[in-house]
Amino acid sequence: MDSSIRIASRFPEMGTTIFTVMSRLAAECGAVNLSQGFPDFQAEPVLFEAMHRQMLAGRNQYAPMAGLPELRQAIVDKVAALYGPRFDVESEVTVTAGATQAIFTAIAAFVRPGDEVIVFEPVYDSYVPAIETVGGKAVHAQLQFPDYAPDWARVKALISPQTRMIIVNSPHNPTGSLLSAADLDQLAELVRGTDIVILSDEVYEHILFDGEQHASLCGHPELAQRSIVVSSFGKTYHITGWKIGYVVGPAALMAEFRKVHQFNVFTVHAPSQLALAEYMQDASRHLGLAAFYQEKRDFFRRLLADTPFELLPCRGTYFQLASYAGLSDLPDRQFAEWMTREVGVAVIPVSVFYADGRDDRVVRFCFAKQEATLRAAAERLCKAFVKPR
């Protein structure tokens, strides 16, 4: 439909997210889609059965704005068991329509026009648009290539009187790097005596490898007092399409978070909340996630061992970064498009996560897939890049 309305776009430079672009291209080309971060396998049937049972029981009306008490209590119990503190079930936990909504809501609640928000690059692509939507300014601190560790001296130099928030993400998407307990101590030192709010994206909290332990801001007594911590049931239980997550934080911060939450979402699908509350009672379902995904990581890395890709360390998440510097001089976005069209494997170019388009010739693979999917992708990669002996 044509429209004669003239629109002065508020975001003239903002395009469609790279995940949508690459998934669409993968579908058009019949490529194996290792770009967008979602599993191609199902959750356990018992979870679906639990939701069906709740729907048949009539639990289909609005849940309370903060979430059903059954699920909030299960969240409080889980966080206490893993990280120590016991958040107040009434005032310090809110169920959200996924982590992206939680992140946007937290930014909208605390960031005012002119405020600065420090983000770490490569930065997940929803953070900066959310900051700019509410009139804030993103300030970029680059993680150090190739281990993607934070440079805390640089972060200190970036903090100004206008700094309102710092966003951290561990395990980190897209790099698979982790923040350590020592990193959290350094962050605490930098924000001590300020009114800076920390937004901690911990959606991959259960996906760490090789015996690594998650350093949650929930478990850091000083940082927990100034942090909104985000997690995702979609990532944990292989149900990304359910779009359900949660935040925890001190009551004063949560009160502000809920002021926005109540008007941009208000509440979240009730039967799924009840099903998740029931499903969470077996802690092995989230505690076993690390071993489950480590097996997939190791399987995928073995499949790619004979290719010329240089596989970078992957300490967490279900993403594997790989350098193709020895394969091609193409910029990474062109290389990703070429891979999708000509090789038949879709990946994400990492330069899109940098404000200045920094291009280290690195792409991101998602290995949250069935073995058959990973094997099919590897066969295409080996056919394209491995010379017959």
Q: What is the pLDDT of residues 200-238, one digit of tens each?
A: 999 999 999 999 999 999 999 999 999 999 999 999 999
- pLDDT of amino acid 2: 80
Q: Is the pLDDT of residue 178 over 70?
A: yes
Mean pLDDT, rounded, for 266-295: 98
Which tens digit of pLDDT belongs to each residue from 355-371? Answer: 999 999 999 999 999 99
pLDDT at 195 over 80: yes
User: Which of these, 255, 196, 248, 241, lies nearest to 219 by C-alpha position?
Assistant: 248
Residue 150 has pLDDT above 80, yes or no: yes
CA dihedral 20, 21, 27, 30 (to 10 degrees): -140
Computed over every residue of the chain, the mean pLDDT equals 96
If you count DSSP H runs as helices and E runs as strands, how many of each does the chain have, helices first? Answer: 15, 13
Confidence class of residue 7 from pLDDT cuts 50, 70 and 90?
confident
Judge whether residue 180 has pLDDT over 70: yes
Question: Which is it for the CA torsion 244, 260, 19, 75, positive or negative?
Answer: negative
- Quote the CA–CA distance of 349 and 8 in Å, as a whole number: 30
pLDDT, tens digit, 9 for 90 and up, residues 105-143: 999 999 999 999 999 999 999 999 999 999 999 999 999
Note the CATH number of domain 59-282. Answer: 3.40.640.10
Tell me which amino acid residue 23 is. Answer: S
Contact 115, 165 (CB under 8 A): yes
Per-residue pLDDT at 388: 72
Burial class (CB in 10 A: 0-12, 13-18, 19+), 146: middle
The confidence score (pLDDT) of residue 9 equals: 83
**What band does 389 get if pLDDT is binned at 50, 70 and 90?**
low
Classify domain 18-43+287-385 at the CATH topology level: Aspartate Aminotransferase, domain 1 (3.90.1150)
pLDDT at residue 14 is higher than 80: no
What per-residue confidence (pLDDT) applies to 196?
A: 98
Would you say residue 11 has pLDDT above 90? no
pLDDT top residue among 15 and 386: 386
The pLDDT of residue 227 is 98
pLDDT for res 12: 80
Rounded to whole angstroms, the Cα distance separating 155 from 118 reads 8
Per-residue pLDDT averaged across 150-169, rounded? 98
- Domain chopping of the chain, boundaries: 18-43+287-385, 59-282
pLDDT bracket for residue 13 (50, 70, 90): confident
Q: What is the mean pLDDT of residues 171-175?
A: 98
Contact 76, 87 (CB under 8 A): yes
DSSP secondary structure letters along 97-110: SHHHHHHHHHHHHH
Percent of the chain with pLDDT over 90: 94
Cβ-based neighbours of 373, under 8 Å, separated by 6 or more: 32, 34, 40
